Amino acid sequence: MDLDPGLAALRPLGAFSVLHTSPHASPPTSPHASPHASPHASPHASPHTSPLPPPGLPTLAQAYTQEYGDVTPGVHVQVRADPLALRVQKVAAALRAPEARVAASVAHQGLAARLWSVTLGCAALYGGVPDLAPPLLRWDPDATAPDDLWLAEVRALPGDAATIAEVVLQGHLVPLAAVLHARHRVATGLLWGNAASALAGAGRELDGWARRHGRTDIADRARSLTAGLLAHPLLAGTGTLTGTAFRRRSCCLYYRVPAGGVCGDCCFSRPPGSA
């Protein structure tokens, strides 16, 4: 199935799986308004039209640079602040994180989950995925889903595990892990555990949605893709998948935030150092 310009099939999955696309690529106004249309859209817009991104948003390609502002020579982009630093600071303040690397880990897992949710949803519902090359994705690090990501152009790619791995792992999570490790000394093994945990969680959510709606075909596809992606060399060995349940071999450090505890898939059964 071809990808529609507004990726409208993702909307019933919930905001975390939705991706705003360029309004210029949206189809004509439909007489049947979608109940999942964004509340921020213009009242005169098509129900499939995404809201315009705030001006000055950086691309994820820029966010992944070691030194923010290190972009192509001769290309000037008006920006407000270092987006990755802003997101880490926002998470740190929300969680009252005791150290920056804890907030960096949680921020990393959240962005990974967004990217996995979009691609798994598209692959299972459409049979293809959009090209999410970092230069095509604008990111608002101060916003929540779905108003954090805007895709400039919908370019269809195959929906197989190898393509998804190239899009998400190689395109996003490799450079994101590199910059977070360099800036905050977050262990790379921990970051790949985060990536695997986020993938398993996205697959589990999609499987649950599909089964609630009687779409066993989508549930089966979600499970197959999740298992295939977890076998990728970057994720292999990060944990054990049993059905849709995942148990990782590392810890995201969430237990270090006040009253944080351990996550459901943590390698620890209780916070380290607890009685």
For residue range 104-150, what is the model confidence (pLDDT) as tens digits?
Answer: 999 999 999 999 999 999 999 999 999 999 999 999 999 999 999 99
**Angle at which helices 188-212 and 174-184 cross, to 10°:** 130
Pairwise pLDDT comparison (81 vs 45), residue with the higher score: 81
DSSP code at position 193: H
Cα separation, 273 vs 142, whole angstroms: 34
Residue 169 DSSP code: I
Residue type for position 108: H
Euclidean distance between the first and the last CA atom of the chain, given in angstroms as a whole number: 54
For every residue of 40-79, DSSP letters joined together read: TS-TTS-TTPPPPPPTTPPBHHHHTSSSTT---TT-----
Give the containing element (helix H, strand E) for 156: strand 156-158
Do the beta carbons of residue 109 and residue 143 sit within 8 Å?
A: no
Please, what sign has the CA dihedral across residues 55, 60, 64, 65?
negative
Angle at 30 between CA 26 and CA 35, to 5 degrees: 90
Higher pLDDT, 119 or 49: 119
Q: What are phi and psi of 162, to 5 degrees?
A: -65, -40
- Edge-to-edge strand order for the sheet containing 149-151? 20-21, 149-151, 137-139
Average pLDDT over residues 193-206: 98
What are φ and ψ of residue 60, in 5° steps? -65, -25
Among positive and negative, which fits the CA dihedral 143, 146, 151, 157? positive
Q: What is the pLDDT of residue 37?
A: 31
Question: What is the pLDDT of the chain when averaged over all its residues?
Answer: 87
Q: Does an H or E element contain 137, and which?
A: strand 137-139
Q: In the block, which residue shows the tokens 């990393």?
A: 108
State the pTM of this model: 0.86
